[in-house]
Every structure is written in structure tokens, then in C-alpha cells.
């Protein structure tokens, strides 16, 4: 930025000098007159100062008609020399005869005013080329070269994506020892596409390849190819691969390739635009008439569905590697990698944390570990314990606690009843996931949360499991209806999710007994917009009516079931809700203890979250726990699992 300011200053100086010289030249410009006019000026006494004679060329100053001064030049012949001399003597004009200038001297005098401008121009050009704005190199590639040892990330720092690591490790080994793979007639893959959700480690894998490879590694973003100037993107693609050819064997990594690799012929104003020309050049460079031997392209995207088919074919991207959300074993390994440099307390169990974080990506887990370390440091702890990790997990899922938010006792009671309704319906429904935590501490936009986590990660969802999930989602609204005889707005999100799930069960999964095993509606893919914004309707109005009836039937059946479960356990619902109001958070194990009639231990000085101790509250909670010791023995018989209707 400083270089750009300096170059601008030089340009201003250059223009100013030109204006000054032009002004001086304009003022010193001589008027050409004939010799007769000169004689008249001399007789009128209007010639002032000295008249210079250079080989028959007279020059000097005179007074104009308006009284201003001016310069003149005139030429006389040799035959007029005596008369010119006589006129100047008669009128007392000073006469200075000089020899004529040589041709080289005249040229030097003519070029002399332009020499400073040439020097200034040279300095300005050097200043512009020295700045980082690349004003004169728009078409040059912006790819950066990673030298050996510059990147410290290796495959040991990547976990949870073992298959992708093996594929990329083979690419690195091929570059180190190509004869090992080509001795049987095989060829090196030309391209590898890494695709998957955001945060799963695609860019981290590329960094590991850069750290492991002993060959030049160029990396660039897909957006670096696109500029407002026509032809710049295609020029940068050509320059990038030319650099790769000069450095082969080498690796080129393009991050977010969907910025230039989207479907062609999808522009609103026509198919001919700058992005498509960039893609065309990329297609040619990857697999065109002139092969790029020894140049391997690695690209990453989280939108493989919008990429152009010509880009995905073998010969360009020979390998397409899915980098998906890690499973429970992958999450445990990722937690081990990210917690290597953190002081952990003895009670930290990464296996438990891995089971409690289904759906977390690698980036989510890294953020959770970092949040846990910050929480422990904030509370002046010497090590990060399990409670810190649990709190960090909730922060990543829902945001920080809003403990400053003041809830009316009525709102707190409604929230407790609502969340306990969810928990009891999940507890008493077969095929439902176990309850992990119940809380009425506001987080984000939610006033409370009932968290259920799968014991095992199922790859398939059965009809019974999805129906059980509908019962769990409608349990909060059913609890409000039973306890208060009224509905609140707190179930709005539950109703929306339940309706969406029921609709998918019928229209996508074919789980309706009346409509049969078929799907309804086809997505209308708008590749230019990059998402599905509409569905093509491929069914009649009569079928649409039946779909609405089936959705209503699924939701009503789940609602009736949740009402029956909670009515049969009304006392248990109210008592657990009272305890939740006092304790604000219950774990899954504490919920099991309450159902079995076991007293809960007193709160640890209101302990966590950095709030001051509150012994009065702890004492009150202990008393409530003791008064509810009789919950379990009689109520255990009521907790008969609900049999899902067929």
C-alpha cells in the first residue's frame, strides 16, 4: 500500500513538471516576422534590449501594440546585411553577432527539456513494478509456491478420514517413486477431487500433502481466477499450468473450485461470460491436446453437484474422494489430535465425548476443544476437565448460556414441563435414543433443551424409529396441554420439524401404507443458483389431498401416543419438572435416578459456570430431592415402553 502511494506521488510530480514546461514554453514562444516588419519596429523604437544575430537569423524582444512585451525572430539574406546593420546603428539598437549553432548542438538543446521527464518516467515504472498490486501483471497466476519444510502439517495431524489419507498418500508416493507404479503400464492420476461438507478437513488434507510431498506445491483459491477484466481468468489458468510444467513433477491445489467450475450455459444473460471462459481453459489444460505430464491437480469443494460434468470425467479428475462427517471412532481420533497440546484432567474421557458429539465435523471438534481450554483458563483451573468439555459442546451446538436473561417463574415452569415432556416420551418409547441432558438454561434463541444422543450411529432409519422420534418431538406440546390445559408458542419449532419429518416419510421414503412405496415430487435443480429452489409436481390434486391426510395421520398418531404416555405418568412429570426448575439442568443418569426413586446429590455450590456459591439454593434442592424419594418404586411399574402401532 505504501508503494502504491509512492508511485502515485511520482505520477503527480511527473504531470506537474510537464505542465510547468508547457507554460514556460508558451510564454517564451517567439513570433516570426519578416525583415520589413523588423525595419518598421526599429524605426518606431519598439525594439528593446539586445538583438542577437546567428548567421542571418535575428532574435530579440519588442513592445507590442497593447504595450506587452514579446519575442521575435526574423531571417535576412546576405544582400540585406548592410541595410540591417545600418538600421540598427541609426536606431541605437545593441547588436550581438554570433556564429550559427551546429546541428548536433541544436538537437541537444531541443531534447534537453525532455531528459528530466524520461528520468521521472523510468522511476515511476520501477516504483509500480516494485509494488504488490501487480498493476502490469493481471494475467499472471496468483498461485503461491510452498517450499519444502514450509508447511508443518503431515498425515499424522489428520484423523477421521483414513480412506482419503490413503488415496492421497498413494499420490505422494507416486511422485516420489513413479517407476514403482508404472512398471506394469499404469499411469499417474491427473486429478483428485475432495468433496464433502464444510469443516470435514479437505483443506487440511491438502496441507498434509504439501507437508509430505517432496515436490513443488502450488495452491490457489478458485475465486483468484475471476476478475472484472475479460480474459484474465483464462490467462491465469494458462500461466498456472505453465509454472507447473516448468516445475514438474508438481502438485497444484485449487480450493473451492466451484467458484470457476460450475455448469456452463447457465448464465441469465447468455452463456458467454468470463467464468465460463476460465472453465474452458481449465478443461483444456487438465486434459487437452497438449498433455501435462507430471502435473497433478487436487481440488476441494463442498458443492460437487454444481460442477460441470466435463470437469468430473476420468482423465481430468480420475479420483473423487468423499470427505464426510466422521463416525464415533473418527471423532475420538480427531479429539486426540486436537487435545495433544492441552493439559487434560484425569476425568476426561474422549470416548464419551466422541459418543456425545454425533454430527460434529472436524472443525466443530477443534472448536469444542479450544472452547473447553478457554473455559478452564477463565475459571483459573490447572487442567481442562470433563465439565469444561461438556459446556464447550453445548456452546458449539447452541451458543453460550444466557444467564443474564431473567425468566418469570411462570415461564420457567412452562419450559421445565415442556422439556420433561420431551424426556419422558423419549424414555418410554422403544427405538428412541437415550436422553443425554435436560436443561432450562436459555441458550441462543432456545429457552431450554432436551438432548438425546444415539448410543450407536445407525446408517439406516426404520419406520418405527422415525415414528418414535415424532413422539419425542411432540412430547413437549403434549405436556403443556396436560399440565396447564393450554398451548404456548414454545412448541413452534417442534411442530415444524415434526411436520417436515412426516412429509419426508411419506413423499421421500415411501413409508405410507395407503400411498404405497413411491415418491412424490422431483427436485428442480437450479444449477445457476446452486440449490434446489422448487419441486416439480408429478402427482394429481387427489394424491396431494391424500398426502396431506397421511401427514396429518402420522402427526396425530404421535400426538395421541405422547398424550397417553404423559397422562399415565402425570405425577412423575410434575415432580421431575419441579426438580428441574430448581436445578436447571439434569443429566440422563440423574433422570434415571429420579425415575427409580433415588435421591439426587446436592448441587456443588451452584458450582460451575463461574457463579458465586448459593448454599440456600443447594439446601432447598436437597430437600426437594428427599421429599421425592418415593417417586420411583411405584412409578417404575408405570414406565411401560410404548408399543409403536403398526
Q: Show which residues are catalytic.
A: 419
Q: Tell me how crowded residue 158 is: count the other CB atoms within 10 A of its CB.
A: 24
- Are 539 and 516 contacting, i.e. CB atoms less than 8 angstroms apart? no
Q: Could you please report the per-residue DSSP string of 267-319? A: -TT-S--HHHHHHHHHHHHHSSSS--TTEEEEEEES-GGGB-HHHHSTTTS-E
Cell of residue 317, nine digits: 479428475
User: Of the candidates 38, 28, 87, which has an alpha carbon nearest to the alpha carbon of residue 58?
Assistant: 38
- CA distances, 232 to each of 53, 138, 291, 479, 487 (Å): 61, 6, 22, 63, 61
Q: What are phi and psi of 214, to 5 degrees?
A: -110, 35
Burial classification of residue 194, based on how many CB atoms lie within 10 Å of its CB (0-12 exposed, 13-18 middle, 19 or more buried): buried
Measured distance CA(225)–CA(254) in Å, rounded: 10
- CA distances, 380 to each of 72, 347, 610 (Å): 92, 18, 10
Q: What are phi and psi of 510, to 5 degrees?
A: 60, 40
Measured distance CA(121)–CA(18) in Å, rounded: 12
- Provide the total of helices (H) and of strands (E) in the chain, helices listed first: 23, 16
Q: Which residues contact 81 (CB under 8 A, 6 or more apart)?
A: 56
Measured distance CA(554)–CA(499) in Å, rounded: 9
Q: Could you please report the per-residue DSSP string of 243-271? A: HHHHT-SEEEEEESGGGT-BPSS--TT-S
Amino acid at each position: 500500500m505504501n508503494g502504491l502511494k509512492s508511485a502515485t506521488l511520482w505520477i503527480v510530480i511527473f504531470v506537474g513538471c510537464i505542465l510547468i514546461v508547457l507554460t514556460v514554453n508558451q510564454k517564451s514562444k517567439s513570433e516570426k516576422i519578416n525583415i520589413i516588419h523588423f525595419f518598421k519596429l526599429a524605426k518606431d523604437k519598439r525594439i528593446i534590449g539586445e538583438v542577437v544575430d546567428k548567421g542571418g537569423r535575428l532574435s530579440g524582444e519588442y513592445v507590442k501594440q497593447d504595450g506587452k512585451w514579446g519575442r521575435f525572430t526574423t531571417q535576412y539574406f546576405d544582400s540585406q546585411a548592410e541595410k540591417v546593420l545600418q538600421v540598427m546603428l541609426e536606431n541605437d539598437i545593441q547588436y550581438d553577432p554570433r556564429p550559427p549553432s551546429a546541428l548536433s548542438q541544436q538537437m541537444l538543446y531541443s531534447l534537453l527539456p525532455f531528459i528530466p521527464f524520461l528520468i521521472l518516467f523510468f522511476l515511476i515504472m520501477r516504483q509500480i513494478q516494485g509494488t504488490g498490486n501487480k498493476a502490469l501483471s493481471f494475467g499472471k497466476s496468483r498461485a503461491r509456491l510452498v517450499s519444502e519444510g514450509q508447511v508443518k502439517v503431515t498425515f499424522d495431524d489428520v484423523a477421521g478420514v483414513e480412506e482419503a489419507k490413503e488415496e492421497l498418500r498413494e499420490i505422494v508416493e507416486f511422485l516420489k517413486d513413479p517407476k514403482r507404479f508404472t512398471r506394469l503400464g499404469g499411469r499417474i492420476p491427473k486429478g483428485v477431487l475432495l468433496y464433502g461438507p464444510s469443516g470435514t478437513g479437505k483443506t487440511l488434507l491438502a496441507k498434509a500433502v504439501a507437508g509430505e510431498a517432496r515436490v513443488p506445491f502450488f495452491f490457489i483459491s478458485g475465486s483468484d481466477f475471476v476478475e472484472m477484466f475479460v480474459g484474465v481468468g483464462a490467462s491465469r489458468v494458462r500461466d498456472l499450468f505453465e509454472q507447473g510444467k516448468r516445475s514438474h513433477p508438481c502438485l497444484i491445489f485449487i480450493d473451492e473450485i466451484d467458484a470457476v467450475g460450475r455448469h456452463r450455459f447457465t448464465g441469465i444473460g447468455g452463456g458467454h461470460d468470463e467464468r465460463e471462459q476460465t472453465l474452458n481453459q481449465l478443461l483444456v489444460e487438465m486434459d487437452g491436446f497438449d498433455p501435462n505430464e507430471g502435473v497433478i491437480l487436487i481440488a476441494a469443494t463442498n458443492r460437487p453437484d454444481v460442477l460441470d460434468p466435463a470437469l468430473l470425467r476420468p482423465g481430468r479428475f480420475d479420483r473423487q474422494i468423499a470427505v464426510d462427517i466422521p463416525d464415533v471412532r473418527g471423532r475420538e481420533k480427531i479429539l486426540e489430535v486436537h487435545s495433544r497440546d492441552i493439559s487434560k484432567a484425569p476425568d476426561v474421557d474422549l470416548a464419551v465425548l466422541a459418543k456425545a458429539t454425533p454430527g460434529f465435523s472436524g472443525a466443530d471438534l477443534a472448536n469444542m476443544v479450544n472452547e473447553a481450554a478457554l473455559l478452564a483458563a477463565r475459571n483459573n483451573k490447572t487442567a481442562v476437565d470433563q465439565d469444561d468439555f461438556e459446556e464447550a459442546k453445548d456452546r458449539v451446538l447452541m451458543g453460550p448460556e444466557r444467564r443474564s436473561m431473567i425468566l418469570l417463574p411462570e415461564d420457567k415452569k412452562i419450559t421445565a414441563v415442556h422439556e420433561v415432556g420431551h424426556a419422558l416420551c423419549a424414555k418410554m418409547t422403544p427405538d428412541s435414543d437415550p436422553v443425554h441432558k435436560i436443561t432450562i438454561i436459555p441458550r441462543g434463541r432456545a429457552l431450554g433443551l432436551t438432548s438425546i444422543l444415539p448410543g450407536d450411529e445407525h446408517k439406516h432409519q426404520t419406520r418405527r424409529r422415525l415414528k418414535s422420534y415424532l413422539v419425542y418431538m411432540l412430547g413437549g406440546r403434549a405436556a403443556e396441554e396436560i399440565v396447564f390445559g393450554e398451548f404456548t408458542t414454545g412448541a413452534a419449532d417442534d411442530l415444524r420439524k415434526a411436520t417436515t419429518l412426516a412429509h419426508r416419510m411419506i413423499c421421500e421414503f415411501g413409508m405410507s401404507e395407503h400411498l404405497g412405496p413411491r415418491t412424490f415430487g422431483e427436485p428442480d435443480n437450479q444449477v445457476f443458483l446452486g440449490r434446489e429452489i422448487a419441486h416439480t409436481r408429478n402427482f394429481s390434486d387427489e394424491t396431494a389431498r391424500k398426502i396431506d391426510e397421511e401427514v396429518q395421520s402420522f402427526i396425530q398418531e404421535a400426538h395421541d401416543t405422547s398424550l397417553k404416555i404423559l397422562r399415565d405418568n402425570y405425577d412423575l412429570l410434575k415432580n421431575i419438572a419441579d426438580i428441574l426448575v430448581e436445578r436447571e439442568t439434569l443429566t440422563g443418569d440423574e433422570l434415571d435416578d429420579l425415575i427409580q426413586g433415588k435421591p439426587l446429590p446436592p448441587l456443588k455450590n451452584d458450582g460451575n459456570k463461574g457463579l458465586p456459591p448459593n448454599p440456600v439454593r443447594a439446601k432447598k434442592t436437597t430437600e426437594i430431592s428427599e421429599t421425592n424419594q418415593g417417586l420411583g418404586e411405584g412409578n417404575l411399574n408405570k414406565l411401560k415402553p410404548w408399543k409403536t402401532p403398526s
